Every structure is written in structure tokens, then in C-alpha cells.
Amino acid sequence: MNDEKTLGLPSFSINKNTYKPYKTTKEYPTVCVYQTADSRKIYKRNKFPKRNMAKRHQPRSGSLQFWPRVRAQRIYANIKSWISNDNNKPLAFAGYKVGMTHIQDSKQGKKGVEIITTTPVTIIECPPLKPLSLRFYKKTAYGSQPITQIFSKNLNKELSKKISLPKKTKEEIPKDYDFLKLVVYTQPNLTGIGKKKPEVFEIPLGGDLEYAKSLLEKEINIEDTFAAGEYTDVHAITKGHGFTGPVKRFGIALKSHKSEKKRRSAGNLGPFTPRKTSWRVPQHGQHGYHKRTEYNKLILKIGENPEEVNQKGGIKQYGLVKNKYMLIKGSVAGPSKRLIIFSNTIRDKKSEKPVDVKSISTESKQ
């Protein structure tokens, strides 16, 4: 029997009569266990350490949650699910993405110490929306169908660039309808993005019919829908990149320089049988210009003075803000000058205390 030094055990005096070796067990087939009666301790030592080759593992490239990766139907989002509310207010608004900057806000720390933090924000220019019509819907076996609509009397002339304006309008309210929505259009001519043709879309309304009829003859401002400290869902169309390969589209790794045929493609398209290619295999196709929804984005501030956010020399790839603006915490999908639609949160998220914004960076990003 080897002594303690050869086994790597601590050296102390051992009585040979009390030295008891233990046999290997099924749990430890490669481990020898020894016990001394004097110390009542158990020491373990590997006789033959197991050495395995490292296993190569890499997470999947490209999320399967976003499928299919196809182009959006239009340049602003088409929202299919809304939340209902009994309060007299519009439940959605829209604005043009300006760009990003950062703010400094303060909050109280321990022992009354003021803590100043820097937060990245997205600037959204929010010119007022104008109502086009009230649209009444009836639920049928084939889905909700519009039955009639009441048009507003004060329509902008730029609206004729988008749709054919009606010559005669109806003012009859149907007796039998299930719900209604307000059709609104934007006023890009009030901004500096160089565009006149408005966007037309529907927004849901809270409240009764009398409140809905009162909206037909007045503009809708951002304060009518949201306030600082509230959360909102952001619906946008992402920046388009056209037709790209799987390396840029899904982020797969380049193959070895000694690989056959291609280097910027997947290793294989799947097994020999079944004789079809799975949709999970990363392949080339459309990249970007997808409709995406981001839930629970925090509104940090709603301001009326555009000089608070205008940067020196103008904001890069946008120009100057001329209307009311909104600061969203973090990033928002899509390039600058694109219309972003904001709706009330469909997931339960309570409002927070408004942030005390100390300063907004107006340094040029050129």
C-alpha cells in the first residue's frame, strides 16, 4: 500500500492496525477512497482522470420568432389588435421618427443624495392628427365588415394626393352596429421632412358616441392620448436592407477557406430524407422592412418647445423639429422620417412617476 505522500494525502501519523482501505464503488469507479480512524476524514483521488475533447456548441443564428421574413404591405404599420377603454380619449397616436440623443435625469438616492444618470432617448415629432371619418362596423360570420362612415367637413387639400375625396357625405348614424373607429390622417406638410402626401389609418376610441362625433371637427394632439411617465406599444416598419445572404440575414458564421463550393452559405440544407428543405434552414431572402411591435416603451417627456431638442446645424438626416415632440426611452425601429404608430399598452403596465429631465443633449451628431 502506498503512503500518504505518493497519494497526495496530508502527512500525519497513522496506526497500521486502524488503516482501512475502501474498495471502488459503482458511483466512483475510477476513485479510490481511504479513511483513517484517527482523523475520521475521507480523501478522494482520481486514479485515471477522464479527458474528453471539448464539444463545440453555438446557439442558433437568427430568431425563429419573426416569421415569415417578408416585406411589409405598406410603409407604416397595420395594427390588427387594439385594447378597449371606457375613457373619453383616442387610444393611439402617430409621429415621425427624428433620431436619437441622450438626456440627463435625476432621482433621489440614499441619504437624500441626488443621482444623475444619462439615458439614450428617441425623438418623435408629433404634429396633430386630423379626423377623416367615423367608420361603423358590424360583426358577421366572415369577420367585421364596415357598414357606413360619416366624413368630416374640414378636410385638407393635401388629402386628395392620397385618396379620392367624396363629393357627397352621409350624416346618418346606423341604428345597428357593433363598434366604431376613427379614421385619421397625418399632416407631414407641418414638418420639415419634405413631404406633402398624408398617411391614412384607423385608431380606436374610448368613450361614447357623442364624444366620437365631437372629434370630427377638431384636431387630435399628443396630450389627448398620452402623458409623461406612461407606457406605450410602438408599431413600426424596420429599416430595409433588400435581398441579402444568410450571413447578414441570420448571422451564421463563414465556413472554412477549404470548404467546397460556397463560403457564405449554410453547411447543408438538411437531411436526405424527407426530400424537402425545412423553413428553419438559414437561406437568402428579404432582410429588413418588416413590421415589428415593441411592447411597453416608456414615455419620458412630451414637450411643446422644439428648440429644446433641435441640434446645432439641424438633426442628422432629418432637419429641424417644428412641432410638439415626444421622448421615448431607448431605441425605436425604423429609419428617420418614417411614421411610427403608438398605441395604449395591450399588456398590463402601470404608469410611473414622470422623470425629472435635467438636460437634453443638443450637440451635433454630424
Q: Per 3-state DSSP, what percentage of the chain is helix, strand, and coil (rounded to 5)?
A: 10, 35, 55
pLDDT confidence of residue 171: 80
Residue 84 lies in a domain: no
User: Is residue 314 situated within a structural domain?
Assistant: yes
Residue numbers of the chain with a pLDDT score lower than 70: 1-51
Looking at the structure, tell me whether residues 161 and 306 fall in a common domain. Answer: yes
CA pair distance 330, 234, nearest whole angstrom: 12
Q: Are residues 42 and 97 in the same domain?
A: no
> What's the structural domain count of the chain?
2
Asked if residues 63 and 280 have their Cβ atoms less than 8 Å apart, the reply is no
Residue 111 belongs to a domain: yes
Provide the whole-model pTM: 0.82
Q: Give the range of the structural domain holding residue 11, as residue numbers without chain letter.
A: 4-46
> In the prediction, which pLDDT does 141 show?
94
What per-residue confidence (pLDDT) applies to 300?
96
Instruction: Please say whether the dihedral angle defined by the alpha carbons of residues 352, 91, 95 and 349, taken in this order, is positive or negative.
Output: positive
The pLDDT, as a whole number, for residue 55 is 77
